[in-house]
Structure 1
Amino acid sequence: MSVLLEVIATTVADARLARQAGADRIELVTAMGEGGLTPSVGLIEAVVAAVEIPAAGVPVNVIVRPHSRSFVYDADDYAVMLRDVRAVKAAGANGIVIGMLNREGEIDREGLARVADAADGLAITFHRAFDETRDLRQALDVLLGFDAVTNVLTSGGKPSVLHAEATLRELVKQASGSHCTVLAGAGLTVDAIAGFVSRTQVEAVHFGSGVRVGGNGLAPVDMEKVAQVRALLNANPGTTSRG
């Protein structure tokens, strides 16, 4: 199979356009300008109804992030996140996208365990909070210990994955053969994708502004750009899953 393509959607229209153009999976967020926050239940339900249909549909993973202050959460934040996780499951989505750290810059294992329990079988993508950990390889080892975590979204600790290819290669090798896929995202463009995939051997890529009108993260999804990326990925052999 070709490399998996995940596209960020912030509206029902985004999700429809991404699916029609060949995206394998949707990450549903609101507040793209803040790095993505939890969308409303109404939006989750509408997007799931629009694109996550049997046979022809694509899975929808929903970000659960209560605020953009930091990835260190207090008891109230966790209470909110756990309620949101259950709401995402009730809405019929495929999975959640979440991340939490402690004050030492390490993954909050206890918090992640609570979320995994609340997710009750939903696929879990650990988002780019991962890139703020003190040691990426150690953090990945922690995540590999959680069976529920099926993807790690990372830019290799840099603002753009295009400046972290060596790190991405190492992370892909570290996760090889596990239940967890390294999902490369941040800074990817249509022009760069083929060479990037070839050099890093990533099995899944994540696009936001790179497949939007004018390269603007707040603009709608550009079907033509998604279709271009899909075609380029199809030309790169690889193996992947849809978790």
Structure 2
Amino acid sequence: MKIEVCIDNIESLHTAIAAGADRIELCSALALGGLTPSLGLITQAVAVSSIPIYVMIRPRDGDFVFSDEEIHFMEHEIHTYKQLGVNGVVIGALNPDATINEDALRRWTTAAQGVGVTFHRAFDLVANPLESLELLCHYSIERILTSGLQPTAPEGKAMIKYLVETAQNRLSIMAGAGVNDNNALSLANIGVTELHLSGKGQRISNMLHQHSQISMGTESCDDWVSITDYDKVKKIVRLF
């Protein structure tokens, strides 16, 4: 079993590695589902990580219907991050009718040649998962990250099993969303060989003087810092 941990800060990188993660999905803004991280974070993560780094290519929150302008600069980002030494990128784009945007897919996988490619949970919004799977199998996609078209992977277990059986090792089906030590083994039992989680936790801020009524954003509280919880990751690693 390969364990991928998604993180959005350098502290969590060290925690995930110490807990036994096999691969990192590097993001910013996990509270928004994960966005493209900063150039500085990517550079530092590549410099210090002992495990593969896959970078999220997603410039904004919201849907996965990207404009031509967005597709263009996301393509440029892939080229840039390859030069920084990332091991892979995490991509996904849809058309308004909930089919995969094949033009974006073609451009991004071409730009990513030489590094790995994950198709992210945009897959969970497609209208036809079987057609979408077959399309992705024709491109240099290593894996699909999916919750089985349900809010969490345990809820989508039947679809995940179906996707694993249909893929027939042409690419990997990685289960993600709501994965923890209580359900990891049941996901392994349906043929999944990769699991994705954040191991989300918090620590108290290092600020000595705190303003509990002041927040710098709607998704944050400045009395604490969101980090990867060592124990949550380690418990899953120990299962395998």
Q: 2:20 aligns with which of 5, 12, 22?
A: 22
Q: How many angstroms does 1:84 deviate by?
A: 1.1
Q: How many angstroms does 1:30 deviate by?
A: 0.3
- Cα deviation 1:7-61 (Å, max 9, x = unaligned): 011111111111111100000000111111101111001011111xxxxx21000
Distance 2:7 2:80 in 1: 18
Alignment check: 8 A CA contact 1:12 1:50 kept: no
Gaps of 5+ in 1: 52-56, 235-243
> Alpha carbon RMSD of aligned pairs, Å?
1.6
Q: 2:135 aligns with which of 117, 142, 146?
A: 142
Q: Which residue of 1 aligns with 2:55?
A: 62
The equivalences for 1:1-243 within 5 A come to 3-51=1-49, 57-146=50-139, 148-178=140-170, 180-198=171-189, 200-208=190-198, 211-213=199-201, 219-232=226-239, 234=240
Distance 2:226 2:46 in 1: 21
Which structure 1 residue ranges, 4+ long, deviate > 2 Å from structure 2?
A: none
SS at match of 2:94: coil
Distance 2:18 2:62 in 1: 35
- Cα deviation 1:68-109 (Å, max 9, x = unaligned): 131111111012201211121111110000100111110111
Distance 2:201 2:98 in 1: 35
Gaps of 5+ in 2: 203-219
Alignment check: 8 A CA contact 2:7 2:30 kept: no
Distance 2:45 2:111 in 1: 22
TM-score by length of 2: 0.88
Which protein has the larger Cα radius of gyration, Structure 1 or Structure 2? 2
Distance 1:84 1:20 in 2: 29
Q: Which has the higher contact order (CA 8 A, sep 6+)?
A: 1
TM-score by length of 1: 0.87
Alignment check: 8 A CA contact 1:162 1:196 kept: yes
